[in-house]
Amino acid sequence: MSHAESARAHVEDLADFVAASPSSYHAAEEVARRLEAQGFTRLDETEAWPAQRGGRYVIVRDGAAIAWVVPSNATTTTPVHVLGAHTDSPGFKLKPQPTTGARGWLQAAVEVYGGPLLNSWLDRELRLAGRLALADGRVVLAATGPLLRIPQLAIHLDRGVNNNGLVLDKQNETQPVWGLGDPIDADLLAELAASAGADPAEVRGFDAVLADSARGAIFGKDDAFFASGRLDDLASVHAGVVALGHVAADGDPRAIAVLAAFDHEELGSASRSGAAGPVLEDVLERIYAGLGADAVEVHRAYAASWCLSSDVGHSVHPNYAGKHDPVVQPVLGSGPILKLNANQRYATDAVGSAAWRAWCESAGVSTQEFVSNNDVPCGSTIGPITATRLGIRTVDVGIPILSMHSARELAGVSDLHDLAAVAKAFFTA
C-alpha cells in the first residue's frame, strides 16, 4: 500500500472514530471498545488488578480512557512513555430543565462549553449525545441522530451583518430548535433516553452535549484535506489508539506504553477525569505496585520517562497571515508540529525538541515548528499540567489545523497519518 493509500485508510478510520464519539463519554468507550477488540483487558478501578508484566489493559473513568502495554520483562524502574490527549471539544452542553421554547417552537436550553467559534454552529444539523444516570444505578450512553439546529437570522432582518460582523448573544441567540409545539407537551430528555432504549422516567441525571451530525470528509486537490468535527482532539486520541494497537500486536515495547485520553481539557483539566486530576497518577501507581516497586523506584522510573502531549495547533492561515509568527509558519500537509512557548504554555524544551525529532526521523516523518506571534496570546495544553503533576519530561506536539474550535475543523490527511506513525515510534523508543 502506498503512503497516500495508507493515509487515506487511516483518515477514513478516523472519520468512523469521530462518528462513534459525539461526546467525551462515547470517545472513552470507543477507545476501550477498539482496544478490547485487539486483545486488551478492560479493568475496573474498584477491583484488584491482575499481575502487570506482559499485560495489555484499559480503564474508563467517566470521559477519560487510560490504556497501557507492560513489557513482559518490565522491572520496578522501567520508565513510561505516555501519549496524552483529550476527548472533549468546545461546543454546547444541555442545561437542567432543557426543554424550552416559544412562539410555537420547541427549543433546547444549552450553555456554552469551553471556547467554541459560536457562528460555526449555526445552520448545522446537530446530534444530542452523552450519558444518562438511571434510577437503578446504571449509567448508559445515549446519542440521537440529527435532531437540532441553531438557525441564523436571515440577512433581510439583519442588513448590516456582512459589514458589521456577527455577534451572538450567548443566552438568547444560541438556543437550538428541535421541533414544533408547546414545551409543556414535549420532553427533550425523552428523545435522548429513547435513543438508548431507556425509560425517561428513570433518568436521574444527565451530561449531554451537541455534536455535528455530518461525517468527516476527505476533499481538495489530491484529496489533501480532511474536514470534521472534534478533530481537537480526537485526531490525537485516534492516533494513540492506532499506535498502541500496533505496539501490542508487535510484541514488547522497551518502556511501559501508555495512552492517556483525558476529559475536560477545554475547561482547564481540573476534574477527576482531567489531566489536572488524579486519573493518570492513580493508574501509574497501580502499575508500579503490580511490579513491586517502592516509592523511590517509582521516582527513578519517572526520571527516565517521557510524556508526549499531543493536541492540535495552528496552521498558517492564508487570509490572516498577520496573526502568525512572521517566520515560523507551519502548513497543512508538511508534517506534525513541535509546539514551543517561552512562557511555558507548552512544556517543550531543548531536550524534548531533540527527542521529538529523533522519533520523527525513526518514523520517516517530517516535522514543523509552531510558535505564537508575540501579539497573539498562546493557548495551553495538558503538557505543562502533566509535567507539573508528575515531574515527567514532557514535549508538546500535534498536527496543524485551520478553523480550530469550529464545529468543523480542517486538517491535512498526511499529517493525521504521520502523527500515528510518530506515536508508534515514541511508544517503542
DSSP per-residue codes, 271-313 = STTSTTSSHHHHHHHHHHHHTT--HHHHHHHHHT-EEEEE--E
Average pLDDT (167-177) is: 95
Statement: residue 342 has pLDDT above 90: yes
Q: How far apart are the C-alpha atoms of 269 and 372, rounded to whole Å?
A: 22
Q: Where are the domains of the chain?
A: 3-89+229-428, 91-212
Q: How far apart are the C-alpha atoms of 218 and 417, rounded to whole Å?
A: 13
For residue 52, the model assigns a pLDDT of 82
pTM of the entire predicted model: 0.96
**3-state secondary structure (DSSP) of residue 177:** strand
Q: How far apart are the C-alpha atoms of 293 and 195, rounded to whole Å?
A: 46
For residue 251, the model assigns a pLDDT of 84
Residue for cell digits 446530534?
Answer: 127
Residues 6+ positions from 52 with CB-CB distance below 8 Å: 70, 74, 287, 290, 291
Cell of 392: 515527567
Residues 6+ positions from 278 with CB-CB distance below 8 Å: 272
Cell of 31: 477507545
Handedness of CA 164, 324, 224, 216 (dihedral sign): negative
Q: How far apart are the C-alpha atoms of 69 and 243, rounded to whole Å?
A: 11
SS3 content of the chain, % helix, strand, coil (to 5): 35, 25, 40
Q: How far apart are the C-alpha atoms of 418 and 423, rounded to whole Å?
A: 9
Question: What is the CATH number assigned to the segment(s) 91-212?
Answer: 2.30.250.10
Question: What is the CATH number assigned to the segment(s) 3-89+229-428?
Answer: 3.40.630.10
Residues 6+ positions from 114 with CB-CB distance below 8 Å: 88, 89, 90, 91, 266, 267, 405
Residue for cell digits 484535506?
Answer: 225
Average pLDDT (333-359) is: 96
pLDDT category at 37 given cuts 50, 70, 90 is: very high
Instruction: Count how many residues are written for the chain.
Output: 429
For residue 379, the model assigns a pLDDT of 87
Provide φ and ψ at 79, rounded to 5°: -75, 170
For residue 4, the model assigns a pLDDT of 86
Residue for cell digits 478553523?
Answer: 403
At position 168, the amino acid (one-letter code) is: L
For residue 3, the model assigns a pLDDT of 86
Q: What is the pLDDT of residues 130-141, one digit of tens each?
A: 999 999 999 999
Handedness of CA 251, 254, 260, 266 (dihedral sign): negative
Residues 357 and 337 sit within 8 Å (Cβ to Cβ)? no
For residue 377, the model assigns a pLDDT of 86
Cell of 421: 506513525
Whole-number Cα distances in Å, 240 to 34, 294, 308, 399, 417: 12, 29, 10, 13, 11
For residue 186, the model assigns a pLDDT of 96
Average pLDDT (383-412) is: 96
Give kind and range of the element (H or E) at residue 30.
Answer: helix 24-36
Q: What is the pLDDT of residues 106-136, one digit of tens each?
A: 999 999 999 999 999 999 999 999 999 999 9
For residue 125, the model assigns a pLDDT of 98
Statement: residue 1 has pLDDT above 90: no
For residue 326, the model assigns a pLDDT of 94
For residue 70, the model assigns a pLDDT of 97
CB atoms within 10 A of CB 366: 14
- Choose among 295, 381, 398: nearest CA to 344: 381
Average pLDDT (387-400) is: 96
Statement: residue 51 has pLDDT above 90: no
Q: What is the pLDDT of residues 237-290, one digit of tens each?
A: 999 999 999 999 988 899 999 999 999 999 999 999 999 999 999 999 999 999
Q: How far apart are the C-alpha atoms of 25 and 29, rounded to whole Å?
A: 6
- For the chain, what is the mean pLDDT? 96
Statement: residue 351 has pLDDT above 90: yes
